Structure 1
Amino acid sequence: MGEKVVAGQFDLSDRQRYREKLQKCLTGLERLLREKRFDRPKNLMGVEIELNLAGPDGMPKMLNGQVLERIASRDFQTELAMFNLEVNIAPHRLGGRVFDRLAEELRISLAYADRKAGEVDAGIVMIGILPTLDRDHLVSANLSEVDRYTLLNDQIVAARGEDFRLDIEGVEHLVCTSKSIVPEAACTSVQLHLQVTPARFADVWNAAQVATAAQIAVGANSPFLFGRELWRESRPPLFLQSTDTRPPELQAQGVRPRTWFGERWISSAQELFEENLRYFPALLPICDDEEPLDVVAAGGTPGLAELVLHNGTIYRWNRPVYGIADGVPHLRVENRVLPAGPTITDVIANAAFYYGLVRALAEESRPVWTRLPFAAAEANFDTACRYGIDARFVWPRRGRYGGTGVVDAVTLIRDELLPLAAAGLDAWGVEAADRDLYLGVIEERCRRRVNGASWQAATFHRALEQGLNRDGALAATTRRYAELMHVGEPVHTWPVGLPERVAPLGFADLG
């Protein structure tokens, strides 16, 4: 939710007025689509990474305001809680050595940010959920000092009308309550943007939905929450429950949650924005002065501020995005499923796999989504979150008889999806050296059945065997993770367990 929001409480007429304005925005979007006013194909991609601040002991540090002041760069901004930051990498054209360039930019940015964090005895940790986070850290007092977060929290709490209940059953079982949405701040993600033309949007979005399960299987990195070992990727259930405006009765009625996989394959971008209006009440009914239909009629490019703001309060795993660059409107698919980390190489490998796979899936003559029920794609995503690299997926069978079968995620990825991703990267014009380096990282994770989550869990259990208590084992695992993250070798090469001495955090030596 990147928009600047400043407002007080809303009165009863605000939502009605906002709903009418949203409808005008939707009509304006329809006209822009119908009149083909959108940008030509540019093959642009972009990356955002949410980060944690932790001290040398591995515990979270509530210092993002001070750290951002020291960083003093528009590439970095606040996130929901005081131990979060976000780094934005400028858009790049897919092709050539784009992934090596991205990796180098990230190394420079994160090393600089880490040096600045070091001035207040903190360090940057790229991980899906910081294992040392406790419920005491995730309280309203630790919300970032930004109006939009306070306002969003107040509106979601008011819509729900009671405490949030977290109930996640994985390796262990977590049950607790929260009075605010702050537990959502435990989730730190990588968001991958891809600019697409309206004509290609539906195929790319459908392909991204198919890809989510494979992304999580190889990329899971969030096995712990509040001292419990839960799902291999615990962010999705946590995000769902910590932003859930539905009390149990509305859940029982089948009302859709705001954190949403979706419910069907689509044939146009318009359908997703229509669903947003049809199913989800406004949380922040703040009206802009623009009259979008007048702007469109005059040949201008409307900001569609209400539509953009509303879209930002619906947490799809693949979100449609309306944007404007140089006065020209465009559409993006924002892929939000991946956790941050473990290393820059791993993040870039995950990105290369995604961009290659989505391109190839979207261009197949008989796309996977014509042979795979949407419910099966959603179930695959759920299974990947639970079991990570050990997941098994429902997938269309090859051959004339068709139908679906069950296959190990690692087998599917190695035999079918990695060759598709390689072909997709070739189609983008990515150089073979980049393609082979980064897809090779994904292949090795599959071969060794290792990802960030499996390493964290194995190292935690090794620490327990060495006699550490749970809190000590989680802190030691976090410190060791941070040490190896800074060294920068991909996670499939990391030795399991703790060294004799676990070093304090520090990224700055990479600068």
Structure 2
Amino acid sequence: MGKDLSVAVFSNEDRVRYRQKVRRCLDVLALMLDRREDPAIDRPGSAGPLNPDPAGSAGPLNPDPAGPVMFDTDSRMTGLEIELNLMDADAEPAMRNAEILANLADPMFQTELGQFNLELNARPRLICGDGFQDYEQDLLASLGRAENRAGKSDATIVLIGSLPTLKPDHLVLANLSANERYRALNDQMVGARGEHFSVDIRGVERLRTTTDSIAPEAACTSVQFHMQVPPEKFAAYWNASQAVAAIQVAVGANSPYLHGRQLWAETRIALFEQATDTRPDELKAQGVRPRVWFGERWITSVFDLFEENVRYFPPLLPIMDDEDPVEVLQRGGVPRLGELRLHNGTVYRWNRPVYDVMGGRPHLRVENRVLPAGPTVVDMLANAAFYFGLTRQLAEEERPIWSRLTFAVAEDNFHAAARRGIETTIFWPGTGESPVTDLVRDVLLPKAHQGLTKFGVDAHHRDRLLGIIDERCRTGRNGATWQTEAVWRAEHDRGLDRYAALHDMLLRYSAHQQTNEPVHTWPVD
């Protein structure tokens, strides 16, 4: 969710200064990307050349005597973030993350929005060779330590897109994690909205509710894949990520229930879009963009995304950094661009651009945010292998997929996949409308194989993980279908009511999760 905040009340002057600083950061990023020395060059759509601003920052950027800042283009580092749920012995949400974190004392874990959430940040690594095996061993070990500490607090860790036993009275302001940044973000989003947030999701069943906070967002637990790419290739990788987002969601759906209702196969998509929508109806009618955003066009540069974020979205958390990015760049240093990064973190693109500095060198990453957590570590790594391999192959093909697929169709595919999951029919260039399972098995898995081979992934790990995706498609079973079938059987074969069936299902889900066997192999009886 971002860095800790020590300021929770912001003045109009704070916002003005912050906006100016963000635009200044944007211009510095443009110059870094262009590797130009002429400060008068105004990249199309940018905030303009670097002139002094009223906040008193440094003057115009002079030619950099140290030469252009060099982005890290050599490594193909990847990363994973996994959001976790906590439940008690009765399969109810356990509001105990602070206690568990205190006992765990592991910097890989941190709070997330709700008191029943944790986040695990895996150590970034290369996936060549045995990289996926290293991920699996590390994640299982880390989760094992966390599960041990959770057990001492009478809780269990669950990897799932939305905890199916959540009720409206769990998702309230009082159950936000005890960290000022969450309250500050809530206050700013509620203030921007100016009225209660509304949720209206029509799926197999329908859910309509309102809330006075962003707490329902805590029901959306995801796994996020990070892929470092060179600046000149970023547009191709982001475009490819957008094109395959629907495929990922269809195959990996794992969030069919919310507040006792069966909704979408990946209800988390609709919930996140609606529960954090700061636009009242009038602004929606005017075409104001939502902060949870698929986007609206293919891009030609990573700058397009940062510039859109600054142009379309007002700041939510105007926290100023002491750094003057112009001065840092003039000295030949690497600016952190703190304000731009913070602002970027409050625009929730399903594929987000990330600027970061590691080891004194800047780099760019695509942060892929479309998938739910779970059902198991090996399922998530199969999803990661499919995403990394398929995206690389599509990004490097001579005839790019986005030249044959309209952006509007890519977005329609995405929401159709969230609704219907593995039973979705997808439009794909060259095949037209086809079941997503056939498309994956016949067309996309071979491309993912090629992409992972380019990464240098060991053939055994490649074939094992992509084989899980193949078997999901062959059997038609992912996390969402297992959950719905298990609940249906509990209701119809054993006579349980809906909430009893959900509790029963979640307890069995948790037990299967501990085996780390892929979900398509789980029995439902």
Instruction: Note the residue ranges of structure 1 that are not aligned, 5 or more in a row.
Output: 399-404, 498-511
Contact residue 231 and residue 385 of structure 1 kept, 8 A: yes
Matched, 1:450 2:483: no
Matched, 1:250 2:277: no
2:459 aligned partner: 432
| 1:179-199 per-position Cα deviation (integer Å, ceiling 9, x unaligned) | 100000001000000111101
- Structure 2 match to 1:482: 510
Q: How does 1:156-195 map to 2 (within 5 A)?
A: 156-195=189-228
Counterpart amino acid of residue 228 in structure 2: Q
RMSD: 0.8
Residue 297 of structure 1, CA deviation: 1.3
Cα offset, 1:311, TM superposition: 0.4
- SS of equivalent to 1:5: coil
Please say if 1:55 is aligned against 2:88. Answer: yes
Q: Which residue, out of 439, 446, 456, partners 1:412?
A: 439
Residue of structure 2 equivalent to 1:6:
6
CA separation in 1, counterparts of 2:90 and 2:514? 16
Partner of 1:229: 262
TM-score by length of 2: 0.93
Q: Secondary structure at the match of 1:92?
A: coil
Partner of 1:125: 158
Counterparts of residues 25-424 of structure 1 (less than 5 Å): 25-35=25-35, 37-397=70-430, 405-424=432-451
Once the two structures are superposed, what CA deviation does each residue of 1:461-480 show, in whole Å capped at 9, x if it has no partner? 10101111111001001101
Distance in 1, matches of 2:319 and 2:78, equals 30
Q: Deviations over 1:86-135 (max 9, x none)?
A: 00111111200111111111111101100100001101000000000010
**Distance in 1 of aligned mates of 2:401 and 2:206:** 35
* C-alpha distance in 1 between matches for 2:511 and 2:272: 28
Report the AA paired with residue 351 of structure 1: A
Cα distance in 2 between the residues matched to 1:488 and 1:56:
20
> Aligned partners of 2:34, 2:401: CA distance in 1, in Å?
28
CA distance in 1 between counterparts of 2:239 and 2:307 reads 17
Map of 2:15 onto structure 1: 15
2:45 maps to what in 1? Answer: none
Give the whole-Å Cα distance in 2 for the aligned partners of 1:490 and 1:129: 18
Give me the whole-angstrom Cα distance separating, in 1, the residues matched to 2:407 and 2:34.
Answer: 28
1:166, distance to aligned residue in structure 2 (A): 0.5
Asked if the contact 2:165–2:502 (Cα under 8 Å) also holds between the matched residues in 1, the reply is yes
Question: For this pair of structures, how many residues does the alignment match?
Answer: 491
What whole-Å deviation, never above 9, does each CA across 1:299-330 have from its counterpart, x for those lacking one? 11111110000000000000000100011111
Q: Secondary structure at the match of 1:176?
A: strand
- What is the CA distance between 1:55 and its match in structure 2? 0.7
What secondary structure is seen at the aligned counterpart in 1 of 2:107?
coil
CA deviations 1:50-81 (Å, max 9, x no partner) are: 00000111110000000001111000000001
1:470 equivalent in alignment to 2:498: yes
Cα distance in structure 2, aligned partners of 1:76 and 1:229: 31
- Cα contact 1:27–1:293 (8 A) shared by 2: no
Q: CA deviation at 1:41?
A: 2.1
User: What is the letter of the counterpart of residue 203 of structure 1?
Assistant: A
- Is the 2:244–2:391 Cα contact (8 Å) retained in structure 1? yes
Q: Equivalent residue of 1:209, what SS?
A: helix
Q: Contact conserved, 1:14 with 1:285, CA < 8 A, in 2? A: yes
Counterpart of 1:441 (choices 468, 478, 484) is 468
Q: Higher mean Cα deviation, 92-101 or 264-273?
A: 92-101
SS of the residue corresponding to residue 90 of structure 1 reads coil
1:168 alignment partner AA: I
Partners of 1:272 and 1:419 in 2: CA distance = 30
Structure 2 unaligned spans of 5+? 36-68
Separation in structure 2 between the aligned mates of residue 452 and residue 304 of structure 1, nearest angstrom = 39
Looking at structure 2, the residues matched to 426 and 184 of structure 1 have their Cα atoms a distance apart, in angstroms, of 37
Partner of 1:460: 487
The list of structure 1 runs, each at least 4 consecutive aligned residues, that deviate by more than 3 angstroms after superposition, is none
Q: Deviations over 1:397-430 (max 9, x none)?
A: 26xxxxxx21110011001110000000000000
Q: CA deviation at 1:394?
A: 1.1
Per the alignment, residue 508 of structure 1 pairs with none
Q: Cα offset for 1:40?
A: 2.4
In terms of mean alpha carbon deviation, does 289-298 or 125-134 score higher?
Answer: 289-298
Structure 1 residue 8, shift from structure 2 partner: 2.7
Identical counterparts, % of pairs? 56
Q: Distance in 2 between matches of 1:261 and 1:132?
A: 28
Aligned mates of 1:350, 1:219 — CA distance in 2: 7
In 2, the alpha carbon distance for the partners of 1:163 and 1:11 equals 23
Contact 2:8 2:180 in 1 (8 A): no
SS in 2 for 1:86: strand
Q: What is the identity, as a one-letter code, of the residue corresponding to 2:497?
A: N
Secondary structure at the residue paired with 1:393?
strand
Aligned residue type for 2:173: S
